[in-house]
Structure 1
Amino acid sequence: MESQNHYYGHSSALARYAGLTRPRHLPGLLQHGWTAASPLDTHFRDFPEVGRPGGRSNRSLFVWSHESRSWDPAAGDRRSVAIGAPWHYLCAVVGARPAGTGTVILPVHGIATQPLLGDHAAVARAWAETEGPSTVCLYHVEARDPAVVRAYADAGHRLVTLGTRTDPAFLGRLHALLTGAARVVSNRLSTPVVYAASLGIDAAVTGDAMRLAGERADDAGSLAGRWPEFYEAGTAPAARTAVARAETGADALLPPEELRRLLGWDRRQAGPWLDHWLRAPLSRTVTQLGRRASGPGERAPSGDVPSLSFGAWFVAATEYLPRPLGSAPAAPAAPLPVGPTA
């Protein structure tokens, strides 16, 4: 229905599992990452009528799991359908891989509208001491920041990235990265950590969690309280894997023919196409303009950073514009190398 359905190559993963060579539009909204809150209030907040009684009955909210500790579907005011994470559909297509080697680190990342605050050099050095020189995967935002790249390179780490979230090869690159590792580490509980653990890969959260602009100091700490299995060194690997499988809906996967039927991919439909190119962009534009009009003045409420200029806000808002659907490679591609720049 909307561009977020195709983030990270998720629609490509679903399509290949369903026996299609190219992705199609979805009749609703697809959860596009692990979240420490309800996806109904985060990923789907800009389309509040979808899934609501009396709303558009032919559009659904497709979530990963109804077993996550982060939310209770029975307490929500919108109906959702648990289908499992696209990650597991990709894993089912790719099949088992040899045991990986070495450590992969995926630092918490910022976004255009919410930068990451903290000392990257100190975090990079601390990981070099505890994990040894490792492969560090930077989100595309930090991969374009010369200071961040130098901080990790100077600490002896090898740097890669996975592309932007609109790159259909993103999930395949992440799969190659995680399954090629013996250990996966981040300083914040996040999607790739949960993905790795769901496959039985040693995964842990260690180091300074840093802070996103506007975030409260205790926000990161609350994650450790709710998901201690990823923070406590003595946790049995099987216990961590069980939690990760529940969070990602590993047992909710549908057979290919049922997935095609549920997503309307067993027939041609004009509605999802019109949603993607016309209705959803119009709805998103109205929401974004309203949010901009009621936003902060010269500084964000926390005082962390100045509010975005109109130009910067406009660039961030256009990331949600629809674009033609690309198709991911048939086999997972390797992550993209990142080199230090002057």
Structure 2
Amino acid sequence: MAEVLSQQQIDELLGSLQSGNTDLTKIEEQTAAQKIKDYDFLSPKKFTREQIRLLQSVFENYSRMLSLYLSSQLRISCQTEVLQVEEEEYREFENALSDSVLVAVMGLHSDTYHVEDKQILMEMSRPISFSALDKLLGGNGSGYLINRDYTEIEISLLTYLFKQFANLLGDSWSNYFDISFSMDSIETNPQMVQSIQPDESVAIVVLSITLNELQGNLNICLPASSLEELFKSYDAKFVKANKHDAPHEKQLKRESILKQLEGTPLTVSAILGSTEVTLGELLNLHPGDIIPLESKVGPGSITINVEKLEWFKGTLGTLRKNYAVKVEKAL
């Protein structure tokens, strides 16, 4: 989340700009310089680089599913992408929220990893939420310039929408963990969320949502305590196993995978040749006409495709009175 200035800091900045005491060139140089963030040894990082990459992969899959769902539900063009995945303290996420927001509190459940009573937060920007409500109620999605609190009917509709978001979350995590998500409640005041301590480390995932010309964010807050048991299992099964596997164990795994794939059906096709004709020539074709191909007749003149990929070169012939192709070489 971006750093939020207080009203006093904003007033001081505007005053210095109006008085001419601020060097704009110096500000541009400071902005262009590399930003270095101090490491707080009193609050060590809870998420490793591997875990951040895992979250990136999970939510890239989630963004694709969310884009398809919103496009079909709202019947408008929708694009969703992951803007950033970073770790910070919960107080930074809470301070960046305005007084009137839409925060969905979702429960995280897993019998496999003995995870229960854990929560994550999902916050949707006001323009996106009001545009979605406008579309759900039969509008064209343009009624999003609204500056007021949500009504009970609007909260009920958004609760239904967030329930579908929770189901999609479970699907996006299913490739890695056997977990599910439930829609617990919706809060319009961030101060009402008391389940996360201000100094707790959280992973913030920012998704950019574009509905036609309107763009907004969907911010997802994942507390480290909620994901602790999941990451312990992931590190034990994947990260550590991959680091300490002996060469012969990797070879056995490779042979096992190849053996399981041996029975996979594949389409093999022999391409005699290809050519290009105009539409007029195609319409004037009659029985008995000859179409010259670009390939030459001879050994290795036939291309053999596996699925849609060129794999071999072969020669045309016969076998037991049937046409056949002899494989000459692999590509």
Shared topology, TM-score over 0.5? no
